[in-house]
Amino acid sequence: MKITVIGAGNVGATAAQRIAEKELANEVVLIDVVEGMPQGKGLDMYESAPVEDFDSKVIGTNSYDATANSDIILITAGIARKPGMSRDDLQTTNAGIVKSCTEQAVAKSPRAIIVVVSNPLDVMTYVAMKTSGFERNRVIGMAGVLDSARFRSFIAMEMNVSVEDVSAFVLGGHGDTMVPLPRYSTVAGIPLPDLMDQATIDRLVKRTRDGGIEIVNYLKTGSAYYAPSSSAVQMIEAIVKDKKRILPCAAYLQGEYGLKDVYVGVPIKLGKNGMEEIIQIKLTPDEQAALNKSAEDVRANIAKLKL
């Protein structure tokens, strides 16, 4: 197994380290346009191997030649948000970056599965699919896993319980219109509405929607990377190990949930072929309306692109 991580910034480098430590690949290639940065970080990671006990080889490079025949390509490249910026503000700049990265990567690895992390997530995943020409099962966006992890964290903090007992579902686009589903979210199997009042749920839902900018406002010069990298690696692990995990990811819908030709977060089955199935759950009219609104926001942003 060979995995390429495009972008050696905080998200990419942390993801590469997690992939290596979990030994999900024999070879992890970390690539970036900044000369010396991926080489230095890659060597530093590999020097941790004797301490952390992993045998994955980590290679840093500025050339796509080293990425040839990758099984999975993780795209994290792009500029990060700053205070006052929305994810959509990144669109024009990051679309060009993601398009270029995708073109060069798929030329060397035409059979790879692509996982996208770059923001705005749903639009960038669309850019990667259109640029690569790959089938929809091989181009998936990481969003719902992260948003659900944030929702789970906030629920656990609120109730003072272990995160291991908390399950949560967040659908829709990765942005202000994401759709957390409290009635599908549970603590030890107990639905969230049975455990807290609506006002508390609404507060946690809002914090989940604002989860990214909350961290941006603290950091001031960067954005989140520990939780995003963990979320991407969870998806990669499901693919590498053919685990058939059901995870909320950005998928290209072709009629599912009444939506067509748009990337939006929905529960999917992840295995060795990438997205192996879209799981359709029953939504209330209000939930469906919220999902439709989220999808339309993504569609409107896609329409601004010139691909």
Residues known to be catalytic: 174
Q: Residue 129 is inside which H or E element, if any?
A: helix 121-132
b/e for 163-183, b at 16 or more Cβ within 10 A? eeebbbbbbbbbbebbbbbbe
Chain centroid to Cα 209, Å, comes to: 15
R_g (Cα) of the chain, nearest Å: 19
Cβ-Cβ contacts under 8 Å for 39 (sequence gap 6 or more) = 60, 61, 62
Distance between CA atoms of residues 257 and 22, nearest Å: 35
Structure tokens at 304: 């601004």
Distance between CA atoms of residues 280 and 267, nearest Å: 7
Distance between CA atoms of residues 198 and 218, nearest Å: 28
User: CB of 131 within 8 A of CB of 102?
Assistant: yes
Q: Please provide residue 90's backbone torsions phi and psi, each rounded to the nearest 5 degrees.
A: -85, -5
One-letter amino acid for residue 180 of the chain: P
Q: Residue 247 is inside which H or E element, if any?
A: strand 245-254
Please state at what angle helix 144-159 crosses helix 226-240, rounded to 10 degrees: 120
- With H, G, I as helix, E, B as strand and everything else as coil, classify residue 21: helix
